[in-house]
Chain A
Amino acid sequence: MTTPPVLSVQDLRVEIAGQPVVDGVTFDIAAGETLAVVGESGCGKSMASLGIIRLLPDVARQTTGQVMLEGARIDTLPERRMNGLRGARIGMIFQEPVASLDPLMPVGKQIAEALALDGAVPTAEVQPRMLEMLERVGIDRPELRARQYPFELSGGMCQRIMIAMTMIRRPVLLIADEPTTALDVTIQKQILDLMAKMRHDTGAAVMLITHDMGVVAESADRVAVMYAGRVVETGPVAQVFARPRHPYTTMLLRTIPRLDGTRKVPLPAIPGAVPDIRSWPKGCRFNTRCPLATEQCRSAVPLLEPSGSPGHASACWNRDRIETELAP
């Protein structure tokens, strides 16, 4: 028997006021693997992650689906036990590192506190391990930095502290929600490199939530593209980028200005905007913006089906027409 994936999400559905903001999302992440969940605002990518760790806002609730961590269901666990998993088995980092840290506590103490939560660490070991962790996340002069407060550190350094605090407990799953979006591009690169190193060292599975196709290309093994609450395409990053099998992915990749593109010409835009959740169309939700849409797309929901290479799947009635009719 093979080992189960670290995270397995089956048919996850999250509703707000009866509207499905996450609508039947399914994916697995194996140990040592990074899955990027990519989409525009309002596509449900953050709600899916909050559903997985059961930290949904009060207005939202999970209605169907199951979430398994290392083969065991966690969506039905009592809250007390779920709380024991968060931070310990499932690490989380968010967009605003400064807001995620306690402003009134030296950062070293915050990391030590996280470590002490696991109980088994002898008191004498806490301090040296905290300092070692600071060094591993690339913070120079760890003794000095450990005594400083978040406001004394830059955004990039605070995100390093967050990563140290999260990874010191050796989680099997790391959920990173737009971890570099608030950072400058040179700092973003450093943080993505650091996350890759941490994943390599600990073998953690990483769920990376982002809106940036560049970040996906550079740091994920597989990608799940979300649109209006659903995964519309998933597969190995190289395959999905080289030969997208959903019109949304195809058009999204083309619309981004590229460093090797033709300058000052109109970009191939996707018409319209992501529809408001209260007016999501019937059938395929991309049908209002899709040049290939037919009557079938407006009435029936396409399911994720294998298309092309192994592990690559898309939810489109017209995937065979993409290459001929959406030619650049």
Chain B
Amino acid sequence: MTTPIVSVRDLKVHFPIRGGVLGRVTDHVRAVDGVSFDLYPGRTVAIVGESGSGKSTTGYAVMGMETPTAGQVLIDGKDRATMTAAEARAVTRRLQIVFQDPASALNPRMRVRDCIAEPLEIHRIGTAASRAARVQELLDLVGLPASALDRLPREFSGGQKQRIVIARALALNPEVIVCDEAVSALDVSIQSQILNLLLALQARLGLAYLFISHDLSVVRHISDEIVVMHRGRVVEAGPTDQLFAATRDPYTQRLLAAVPRPEVRR
């Protein structure tokens, strides 16, 4: 039995609410309140929910961008909370994140070649020549032409910018990519191109995805397992095909019934 690359155990992330003249903590927002799941290499777990459900906060806790109030985030069996600084740094190479809006994720003044090479430079990997070769390879992998190298992000469309972001996320050979609404801001025809790219990269590189989205149709298409969140809690979880075949939770049913479908039913 392989160990999960990411294991989330009864995760809680609470944010304090301060009130009164002294700014005392009067209450807590339970953004994430008892979430558990396992993500195995080469697999996709989707977290689906509406705004405020805690799905992104869960992703941030997995990335180490948010500290758990309680519970654990285990990376390859090791608790993030007890890692040494060196271990934590090593882990940052294994987990990467792609956000919704590629325009704000890219430095507008940096050429594509430098955007993609930056993680390699920060982690002092390779020589200038080997880094340049790696950048070229990454561009290829995400389907961008070599002519993109010396251009600025603003010269690209939204879908191409997201390809650049994905290339950068792949630079350090990660094992996990957290996709936080990574296709939500894209046009329909571009969204399917990026979904296809994500599937192809997973098949080729054995990536695991933590795919955070509000879009049930997209999530059903790309994931192996689904965690449905509502107000910080998991209301239903399970293998994607089983969950869609028979939802048991009333909230999931309501969510599913509300999805507008591109087929005429009247």
Q: List 10 A-B contacts (CB under 8 A).
A: A185-B255, A185-B258, A189-B257, A213-B188, A214-B262, A217-B262, A217-B264, A218-B260, A218-B261, A257-B222
CB-based nearest B residue for A214: B260
Stretch at the interface among A85-93, A166-174, A268-276, A306-314: A268-276
Closest chain-B Cβ to A44's Cβ sits at a distance in Å of 14
Compute the total of residue contacts between A and B using a CB distance below 8 Å. Answer: 119
Residue B192 interfacial (CB < 8 Å):
yes
Residue B87 interfacial (CB < 8 Å):
no
CA distance A41 to B159 in the complex (A): 12
> Once the chains bind, are B260 and A264 in contact (CB under 8 Å)?
no
Contact with B along A34-74 (1 / 0, CB 8 A): 00000011000000000000000000000000000000000
Extra pairs beyond A251-B189, A259-B220 (17, CB < 8 Å): A40-B189, A41-B187, A184-B51, A185-B216, A185-B258, A188-B260, A189-B260, A213-B188, A253-B262, A256-B188, A258-B262, A259-B216, A261-B221, A264-B199, A268-B192, A273-B159, A274-B187
Closest chain-A Cβ to B29's Cβ sits at a distance in Å of 16
- Which of A192, A238, A268 is the one whose CB lies under 8 Å from B266? A238
CA distance A32 to B160 in the complex (A): 41
Q: Which residues of A contact B195 (CB under 8 A)?
A: 257, 267
Residue B3 interfacial (CB < 8 Å):
no
> Once the chains bind, are B159 and A259 in contact (CB under 8 Å)?
no
Q: Which residues of B contact A264 (CB under 8 A)?
A: 199, 221-222, 224
Residue B193 interfacial (CB < 8 Å):
yes
- Which of A192, A214, A218, A267 is the one whose CB lies under 8 Å from B192? A267
How many interface residues does B have (CB within 8 Å)?
A: 40
Residue B196 interfacial (CB < 8 Å):
yes
Residue B7 interfacial (CB < 8 Å):
no
Q: Could you list which residues of chain A lie within 8 angstroms of chain B, going by C-beta atoms?
A: 40-41, 184-186, 188-189, 192, 211-219, 237-238, 241-242, 251-253, 255-259, 261, 263-270, 273-274, 276
Query: Which chain B residues (204-246) contact chain A, with CB distance < 8 Å?
Result: 214, 216-218, 220-222, 224, 240-241, 244
Closest chain-A Cβ to B193's Cβ sits at a distance in Å of 5
> Once the chains bind, are B221 and A241 in contact (CB under 8 Å)?
no
- Which of A186, A238, A253 is the one whose CB lies under 8 Å from B255? A186
Q: Which residues of B contact A188 (CB under 8 A)?
A: 258, 260
